[in-house]
Amino acid sequence: MAMNDSGEPTAENDGGSGSAGDTEAPTRSGFVALIGAPNAGKSTLVNQFVGAKVSIVSHKVQTTRAIVRGIATIERTQIVFIDTPGIFAPRRRLDRAMVTTAWGGAKDADVVMVLIDAERGLKGDAEKLLEALKDVRQPMVLILNKIDQVKRDTLLALAAAANEKVSFERTFMISALNGSGVTDVGSYLAARLPEGPWYYPEDQISDLPMRQLAAEITREKLYLRLHQELPYSSHVETESWEERKDGSVRIEQVIYVERESQRKIVLGKNGEAIKAIGQMARKEIGEILEQKVHLFLFVKVRQNWGDDPERYREMGLEFPR
């Protein structure tokens, strides 16, 4: 994903830092946005592609911007799965803002993968989801998941009904749980994504999603506590991640704001705000990692951070030249 002049990511593939070697066929790479109601099976599917350690089943974070849920390599293609929040009719203003940005992420993906829980069918969220897809211009594929729970006739009827509402390029019927049909999806994506160098070096793949996820969790807590006082321009980065011998992890994060007055708000009176944010974030990160977490938060003023290449690198994005 590259960035255009206004700082918006674009789907154009103009290179990345990784490389898969220099033999045989050209490498391919791209972003696949996962869309699906909560519990449709997004994490379970990504786990099938990338292995259980990278993706997190059942995390509840809805603050998604372009969070990476997992990165898989199939043949010579690097596939970066990005998340969208599983909410389609947000009521609160904060939720609405988040959903808008996350849908923006989907619109920049190379392929949009729509997951529907075949057991639940088109009831409720799935119906709203298909409505919302009408504005998406990317190639879309439909994945009917949990076929282990559903009869063939029901599946075919569901596929027909969904394809009537949205023009999908392909429809796959899979069980993310037992792996049935998953290889076909992988082969399709491997061939469908554009030629180009990989976005991430192989050795970075495993901890990148966790670092981003931990930063997203802290960002969520920051907004939960301060949303009326803090503009959206603040940003959280995970600067260091150290696994310790006793099984715990030491994480350092920086909350970047644009002005000294905002730094004071984040700190709060006698440091109360940052302390509360840190406690909430530490608890949730610890639950997801199933590990004891030592979390250290710092607040720094960085003017014009939108022009800073480091920030783009941290988010796994290309800096516009």
Which residues contact ligand GTP (rule: CB under 6 A)?
A: 36, 38-44, 57-59, 86, 145-146, 148-149, 175-177
Annotate 113-130 with three-state secondary structure. Answer: EEEEECCCCCCCHHHHHH
Ranges of beta strands (E only) in the chain are 2-3, 9-10, 28-36, 68-74, 77-82, 111-117, 140-145, 170-173, 235-243, 249-257, 293-301
How many Cα atoms within 13 Å fall on the side-chain side of residue 103?
17
Distances (CA, A) of 171 to 2, 63, 175: 28, 29, 13
Residues 6 or more apart from 42 whose CB is under 8 A from it?
Answer: 34, 36, 69, 83, 86, 115
For ligand GTP, the closer CB: 41 or 196: 41
In the complex, minimum distance from the CB of residue 40 to ligand GTP, in angstroms, rounded to a whole number? 4
Q: Residue 61 or 267: which CB sits closer to ligand GTP?
A: 61
Closest CB to ligand GTP among residues 139, 181:
181
Q: What secondary structure does DSSP assign to 51-107, as a single string?
A: -TTTS-TT------SS-EEEEEEETTEEEEEE---S-SS--SHHHHHHHHHHHHHHH
* Annotated binding residues: 36-43, 83-87, 145-148
CB of 291 to ligand GTP, least distance (A): 19
Phi, psi of 185, rounded to the nearest 5 degrees: -65, -45
Q: Which is nearer to ligand GTP, 59 or 170 (CB)?
A: 59
Provide the annotated binding site for GTP.
36-43, 83-87, 145-148
Closer to ligand GTP by Cβ: residue 20 or 288: 288
- Choose among 279, 285, 273: nearest CA to 217: 285
Report, in Å, the least distance between residue 305 CB and ligand GTP: 29
Nearer to ligand GTP, 40 or 79 (CB): 40
Q: Which of residues 48 and 78 has its CB atom nearest to ligand GTP in the complex?
A: 48
Q: Output the smallest distance, CB 308 to ligand GTP, in A.
A: 31
- CA separation for the pair 32, 48 (Å, rounded): 15
Tell me the closest approach of the beta carbon of residue 86 to ligand GTP, in angstroms.
4
Question: Checking DSSP bridges between strand 77-82 and strand 140-145, what pairing results, if any?
Answer: unpaired
Q: Smallest distance from the beta carbon of 179 to ligand GTP, in angstroms? A: 9
Residue 206 C-beta: closest distance to ligand GTP, Å: 19
Radius of gyration of the chain, Cα coordinates, nearest whole angstrom: 20
